[in-house]
Structures are given as C-alpha cells and as structure tokens.
Amino acid sequence: MDWDDLRLFLAVSRLGGLSAARTATGLSAATLGRRITALERRVGVPLFTRLQTGYRMTAAGEELFGVAEEVERAMVAVERWKEGAQSQRAIRVSAGNWTTDFLARHIRSLWRPGEPAIEFVAANARIDIGHRAADIGVRNARPEDTALAGRRIGSVAYALYGAVDLDADAETAVVGLSGDTSTTPSARWLSATHGRRIVLKGNSVYAVRELVAEGAGISVLPCFAGDADPRLKRASELIDALTTEQWLVAHHDERHTPAIRQTLERIAALMTEHAPLIAGARPGFAIAR
C-alpha cells in the first residue's frame, strides 16, 4: 500500500462516491473505481458498501480512514519540510560556457534578492540532471532520458569573428581551441576547415575571444557572444553546419517545484526575448566583407 492509494481512499470516503471525487483527484470515476477495488483486494476486506446514492464506508473502511488521516498529516508535514528545504537550497543551472556567461549577464531577469540562490554550473560536458547533479539545463538537443522534460526555446547560430579593424582582403590567422574546449562541435569544425591557418590556441573560450578582439586572428563564436561584443565583427556568413537547437531541460519530478518552475519560466522568457540575437538574425547587422 502506498500514499497515493490512501489519498484516493480518503477522497472517496470524504466525498461519498466516485463522481464527487473526480474533481478532487483528477481521475475519472472508472479509474477511481478500479483503484478502490484493487486496494480492497490488497487489504483483503471490503472498504465500502456500494449504493445507488454513493459509497458508504464499512467498519473496516472507517478503521482504515482513521489510520489514513494520520498518514495524511504526516505527509503534509513532509511536504512543508520539503518546501522549506528547497526554498533554502540553491537552484543549479547547467549550461555551456557561453550560455552561462549570457545568463549571468542577465541575472536581473532571472533572480531577485530574497529568492533561492542560483548556482551556475558552466561545463562543456553535460551535467547529469537525471541524477540531480543540476536542476535545470540548457542543452543543444532534445533530452533522450525519459526522466527528463524538455522544451525547445530556439536555435543557436555560429559564425567566424574577427576584430573590428580586420582586413578582409588579407589571409587571416585563426585562433583555435585546446584542452577541454577542443571537443566541442565548433572547435572540431574549426580544426577541420581552417586547421592549417591555426597559429594560436586557448583552452578557454574567453581567452580565444580576447585574442580575436586584439587582432590575433579569427575564430568561431556563437552569434549571441560575437554580435554582442562591440570589439568584434563577423568574418563569415552563418555556419549552417553548426546551427543547433536550444532546449530547456529539467527533471520530471522537480520541474513543478515553485522555485525551479519560476527559474525555468524566466530563462525561457529571456531566451525568447533575445531569440533574434541567439539565432544570428540581429536587426540591422551587416556582415564584414
């Protein structure tokens, strides 16, 4: 016997029948009837007398009703404890380095003083949300884990970028990525297509950006990072091979928790607001020639 069985039993007992309990439980009368019958089989005694006017508890049902109410009080106490504990813990948001940087620069859209803290977890590798290593993830594909819920929130475009004073007519050196950053799709694409021109490397995406801004060469960046930096300009068209979807991911069991749901909605609203920038369609933008 589990709490869900007792919860349904209490609803039918208090409301006097299946039809009256439908709204309270969100289940159909037929489903409620099957669940109550199955419960009676498990306990081995009838809990209700079925009448044309509704369900009336038997003596065994009344005895179970008292026990079930004690369980209900305990479960309410557990839920209150859980809500208090969750209101004190940080909400862990996992994303790639550039997306984490973008979220952090718009923290006022995501968080207010007095609300549960947000902990940003920047990583090229995916943090395991299924095993609660993070509460929310921004990913480049639909989640395959059945324990996870996903919402597509847009697409991410990439292009080559150089310094604003880049000489478009000269063959330009390329700044590559090393270490953990070299395993990303954009780093592999850069190595495959411009490998012979790579003269400098950085194991941090931010170091690569600074090298590009200082005129050391060109490199690939997501458009929401490159277009937002006044020191940079595009040195190519959008790179179709690197365009990815963007998904907001959370665990099914946690996504309706008030603090997590609020953060999910705020991230989705922020990404929707900046969708043209993220998708590489920044209004009024002119590609460097």
The CA distance from 261 to 270, in Å, is: 14
Q: Which domain holds residue 202?
A: 158-242
Instruction: Examine the fold and report which residue of 66, 88, 110 is the final residue of a domain before the chain moves on.
Output: 88
Choose the final residue of a domain: 32, 55, 88: 88
pLDDT at 268: 96
Give the residue from 168, 173, 161 showing the smallest Cα distance to 213: 161
pLDDT score recorded for residue 284: 43
The secondary structure of residue 62, as a DSSP letter, is H
Number of Cβ within 10 Å of residue 86's Cβ equals 16
The Cα 194–Cα 165 span in angstroms is 21
Q: Is the pLDDT of residue 285 over 60?
A: no
The gap from C-alpha 29 to its chain's centroid, in whole angstroms, comes to 35
Task: Say yes or no: 7 and 79 in one domain.
Answer: yes
Least confident of 100-109, 180-189, 268-277: 180-189
If one compares 207 and 78, the residue with the highest pLDDT of the two is: 207
Q: What is the mean pLDDT of the chain?
A: 88
Is 258 found in the same domain as 115?
yes
0.75 exceeded by pTM: no
Helix axes 97-105, 205-213, angle to 10 degrees: 80
Q: What share of the chain is helix, strand, coil (3-state, %, to 5)?
A: 45, 20, 35
> Pairing between strand 118-122 and 91-95?
parallel
Q: What is the pLDDT of residues 57-75, one digit of tens each?
A: 999 999 999 999 999 888 8
- Residue 270 belongs to a domain with what CATH number? 3.40.190.10
Mean pLDDT of 104-133: 81
**Are 19 and 36 part of one and the same domain?**
yes
Same-domain pairing of 76 and 64: yes
CB 33 within 8 A of CB 12: no
Q: Are residues 251 and 149 in the same domain?
A: yes
Q: What is the pLDDT of residue 132?
A: 64
Question: Are residues 192 and 148 both part of a single domain?
Answer: no
pLDDT band at 124 (very low <50, low <70, confident <90, very high): low
Average pLDDT over residues 27-55: 92
